[in-house]
Structure 1
Amino acid sequence: MNSSDLPILILGTGGHARVVADALLCNGQQIQGFLDPVPQFTEWRDIPYLGTDDILSSFSPDTVRLANGVGSVPFTDTRNRVTEKYENAGFSFCRVIHPSAIIAADTKLAEGVQILAGAIIQTGAVLGKHVIINTGARIDHDCAIDGFCHIAPGATLCGSVRLAQRVHIGAGATIIQEIDVGADTVIGAGTTITQSIDSMQVVRSPEVVTEARRG
Structure 2
Amino acid sequence: MADTKRKQKLLIVGAGGHAVSCIDVVEQQGVYDILGLVGLPEEVGKKVLGYEVLGTDQDLPYLNQYAEAALIAVGQIKTIAPRREIAIQLLELGFTVPVVVSPHAYVSEHAQLGAGTIVMHGAIINANVRIGNFAIINSKALLEHDVQVGEFCHVSTMASINGSCRVGDNCFIGSQACIQDGLIIGSNSVIASNSLLRKNLSEGSSFVGHNNSKND
Alignment-derived partner of residue 95 in structure 1 = 99
> What one-letter code is carried by the residue in structure 2 that aligns with 1:193?
L
1:57 maps to which of 57, 61, 71: 61
Contact 1:143 1:160 in 2 (8 A): yes
Rounded to whole Å, the distance in 2 between the matches of 1:99 and 1:72 is 23
Q: 2:16 aligns with which of 14, 17, 20?
A: 14
2:126 alignment counterpart: 122
Measured against aligned partners, the alpha-carbon deviations of 1:158-204 in whole angstroms (never above 9, x if no partner) come to 00010010011111100011100000010111111111110011001
Figure out how many residues of one structure are paired with residues of the other and give that number: 205
Contact 1:13 1:40 in 2 (8 A): no
Separation in 2 of the partners of 1:72 and 1:63?
24
Task: Give the TM-score, by structure 1 length.
Answer: 0.89
Gaps of 5+ in 1: 210-215
Given that residues 113 and 132 in structure 2 are in contact (C-alpha distance below 8 angstroms), is that contact kept between their aligned partners in structure 1?
yes
Correspondences of 1:41-80 after superposition (within 5 Å): 42-60=46-64, 63-80=67-84
**Is the 1:14–1:40 contact (alpha carbons within 8 Å) kept by the matching residues of 2?**
no
* 166 and 61 in structure 1: CA distance in 2 versus 1, 3 angstrom threshold: farther
Matched position secondary structure for 2:115: coil
Do the aligned residues in 1 keep the contact of 2:11 with 2:67 (CA within 8 Å)? Answer: no
How many angstroms apart in 2 are the aligned matches of 1:154 and 1:61? 38
- 2:109 maps to a residue whose letter is A
AA of the residue aligned to 1:30: D
SS at match of 1:30: strand
Structure 1 residue 41, shift from structure 2 partner: 6.8
Give aligned-pair identity as a percent. Answer: 25
Give deviations 1:62-114, integer Å, cap 9, x for gaps. Answer: 95200111011133521111112221232221212111001111110110111
Query: Gaps (5+ residues) in structure 2?
Result: 1-5
**TM-score, scaled to structure 2:** 0.89
Aligned mates of 1:96, 1:22 — CA distance in 2 = 11
